[in-house]
Structure 1
């Protein structure tokens, strides 16, 4: 528990220090930023998919998949703040991101932090073998994804 509290404190310090968007300087830089963001989000999706299927009962419970996939999501969540700091709005490029990510980065970063914390909770459930709680923990992780999509993803 102390590890989690220290981690939350560290994330809060980092989030408040870098809650300001940085405009990109060229279209090439903007394209790269969008490509990297989309890659991270696709990796989150690919790791969330099997856990969502488990939570729905479509595939059998597998604590190892929960552990590995939630560790990956934790790491990807830690990268989001950095990869979404580049404000690409000055260029007319295809992106699934709403403009308000860059006008409300503090909230966006908090949502990424919430995803990281939920991923850590999935790891704790998986490592403790709490088979009665796995659906709830996976659902909580999925809810953090939905919260961000609701506010910051174009339809």
Structure 2
């Protein structure tokens, strides 16, 4: 079952990359960096909303909306925003991506699949509304984020 999920996730990544490559190719490298950073900031904001709900009054609709937003971005093909020239700062546009992200495609694929799976699981779990299950899924989602940060993001 997990192998099928991984294969489906890899297929989704490939389709998303092909579907968004033309759009990303139209962006200058600094615009690709800015666009991907905006996506990550939006996901971070939504992670904060989920965390606040888990630590305070739990509102299932807010959690579900935030989880759906994260899953939407996770499945959007953001990998296409790591085009040539986006591995370094460009003028005032800074990036914290490590060069390994552009050379270790096997590891990138693993963290990407883990993140997409965790984001999709978070959205599915949030839709069910059980706070304890959401908390577990949220922890798994956070770990998948950390997996990429630890390997491919500069401090």
TM superposition score normalised by structure 1: 0.75
CA RMSD in angstroms comes to 2.9
**Quick one: structure 1 residues 15 and 110, their matched pair in 2 at CA, closer, same or farther if it must change by over 3 Å?**
farther
Structure 1: gaps spanning 5 or more residues: none
Give 1:60's aligned residue.
57
Contact 1:54/1:135 (8 A) holds in 2:
no
Counterpart CA distance in 1 for 2:86 and 2:66 is 32
Counterpart CA distance in 1 for 2:152 and 2:103 is 11
Counterpart CA distance in 2 for 1:16 and 1:76 is 15
Contact 2:87/2:97 (8 A) holds in 1:
no
TM superposition score normalised by structure 2: 0.75
Give 2:107's aligned residue.
107
Alignment of 1:87 onto 2:84: yes
Contact 2:64/2:123 (8 A) holds in 1:
yes
Counterpart CA distance in 1 for 2:78 and 2:109 is 8
**Quick one: structure 1 residues 71 and 89, their matched pair in 2 at CA, closer, same or farther if it must change by over 3 Å?**
closer
CA displacement 1:105-148 (0-9 Å, x = unmatched): 33223323322221222223222232222211111111111111
Counterpart CA distance in 2 for 1:69 and 1:10 is 23
**Quick one: structure 1 residues 65 and 92, their matched pair in 2 at CA, closer, same or farther if it must change by over 3 Å?**
closer
1:4-153 paired onto structure 2 within 5 Å: 8-13=6-11, 15=13, 29-55=28-54, 57=55, 59-78=56-75, 79-84=77-82, 86-88=83-85, 92-93=89-90, 94-153=94-153
